[in-house]
Amino acid sequence: MRQNIYDSYQEAQVLSASPMELVRLLYRGALEAIGGARRCLAAADIAGRSQAITKALKILVELTSSLDHRQGAELSRTLVELYDYIQRLLIDANCRQQDGPLAEAQTLLTTLLEAWESCEPPRGTPAPEVEDCAYEPVSCAG
């Protein structure tokens, strides 16, 4: 029963999310999967570790495929390279059964998540008041 409630909440969160929120949700999902892989590695749960790493890899594939190479071409190219590097870390961690690559992947994704979170205020946060002056919005899209 609890899982159904959690699944329903998660589905509603995804369906009502802005594109920026979806990216943050994907980063959080990847970080959760990597954390799970690290716990499974410590517990010698090979199947659990592999499943968690596979989930993180699938999320990274989704993040890569969602990049818009026409807008912010240099940024998207850099992110493709970074996502590829993180995927290789995860594969290496799974093959060698070592925590180091998982920890590095987790650190990189945490940094990316923090950057995305600084781009747009969380949902429900009121917009800051703007004085009567020239206002030019800033975008993380480049």
pLDDT digits (tens, 9 = 90+) for 41-83: 999 999 999 999 999 999 999 999 988 888 878 888 999 999 9
Q: What is the pLDDT of residue 82?
A: 97
pLDDT at 124 over 70: no
CATH number at residue 55: 1.20.120.340
Question: C-alpha dihedral over 95, 47, 79, 100, to 10 degrees?
Answer: -50
Domain range holding 50?
A: 2-119
Q: What is the mean pLDDT of residues 107-113?
A: 96
Are the C-beta atoms of 82 and 104 separated by less than 8 Å? no
Are the C-beta atoms of 136 and 67 separated by less than 8 Å? no
39 within domain boundaries: yes
Smallest CA-to-CA distance from 27 within 6, 56, 68 is with: 56
What distance lies between CA 127 and its chain's CA centroid?
Answer: 25
Taking the whole predicted model, whether its pTM rises above 0.85 is answered as no
pLDDT at 16 over 60: no
